[in-house]
Amino acid sequence: MNDVLHFLLSESPEPQALDSVDAWWLRHLELMPRFTAPADLALAGGFRADRLGFAFASGYHAAHRSLFPMLPGDKPCALCATEPGGAHPSAIQTKLTDTGSGWKLSGAKTFVTLGTRAELLLVVATEGQDAQGRNRLRMVAVDAKRSGVHVAALPELPFVPEIPHAELTLEDVAVASNEVLPGDGYARYLKPFRTVEDCHVHLAALGWLFQVARRSGWPEPLREELLALAVMMRGLAQADPADSTTHLALGGALALAKQAIEKCEPLWAQTDATTRERWARDKKLLDVAGKVRAKRLEAARQRASGSKSEGP
């Protein structure tokens, strides 16, 4: 922890200009040998970014490093879940089929973050239904250049336009047995990913905000508050993402982070015009999936209330 705090406090706050997602990736790779903990990598990557979009990219990659530590860390990954019917387990129609001599993967995903830059695609697929008629989901790691994999770029979003998104089509893609990751695709990977992603993306955003605060001369108490929030979020990033107590604490942490960001609003006038204009455009990124977070927090509150009522 202290290593990354020293980095935030001593590294030059003047970021190198990043003109593409490829340039971001090279800068991110430079940090990986120094910060092996995904949470620290997210913080340092955010601090090194010249804009919120590339800070997000570092947090997104760090989230994958946290949830998929068995995969190669030097390849950018993309989680591929959303289909025409959504990302709910019942909406997944992409099929993983055992042919007897191997596996085949077929289906389509409608929205893949970093899809055109990813070298490894983490595809949520169904291998059939259980006795109750529910999808039995698996997570499959597939090389983005493999035969039968087709990635098509989507138009830029109105915010963080530097981050590419794509549609994905899979046509009888050959899959090796060791590319079907162990465990339930929903419980072990898809369900906790939102929590893991929230922690690491907010860590990266806090790292970036702290860099802006240093180079723009924002008040020291506010900078210290951002550091304290980063320490808190780092702890949550290392907690069990499936535990409802983690969701309760994360709900509070995200509320505190939002309050700190609101305190920063009058200070953006002290930043350079390019940074200020990008922030005005991109800050809505931090509110994406707000409804999902609210539902997760309410479910955690209900579980906590139920556990208390069962006590002595």
What are 92-113's pLDDT values in tens digits? Answer: 999 999 988 889 999 999 999 9
Q: How confident is the model at residue 308 (pLDDT cuts 50, 70, 90)?
A: very low
Q: What is the pLDDT of residues 160-194, one digit of tens each?
A: 999 999 999 999 999 999 999 999 999 999 999 99
Q: What is the pLDDT of residues 41-100, one digit of tens each?
A: 999 999 999 999 999 999 999 999 999 999 999 999 999 999 999 999 999 999 999 988
Q: Mind spelling out the 3-state secondary structure of 165-221?
A: EEEEEEEEEEECHHHECCCCHHHHHHHHHHHHHHHHHHHHHHHHHHHHHHHHCCCHH
CATH 2.40.110.10 spans which residues of the chain?
77-180
Calpha distance 160→205 (Å, rounded): 13
DSSP bridge partners of 149: 170
Nearest to 181 by CA among 170, 189, 169: 189
Are the CB atoms for 241 and 192 separated by under 8 Å? yes
pLDDT mean across residues, the chain? 95
Domain 77-180: give its CATH code.
Answer: 2.40.110.10
Are the CB atoms for 66 and 204 separated by under 8 Å? no
Angle between helix 191-216 and 52-67 (nearest 10): 140
Angle between helix 244-264 and 290-309 (nearest 10): 140
How confident is the model at residue 101, as a pLDDT?
Answer: 85
Element (H, E) at 106: strand 103-113
| Residue where the block lists tokens 């309050």 | 259
Calpha distance 256→102 (Å, rounded): 49
Calpha distance 109→82 (Å, rounded): 6
Calpha distance 28→41 (Å, rounded): 8
Strands 77-80 and 120-129: parallel
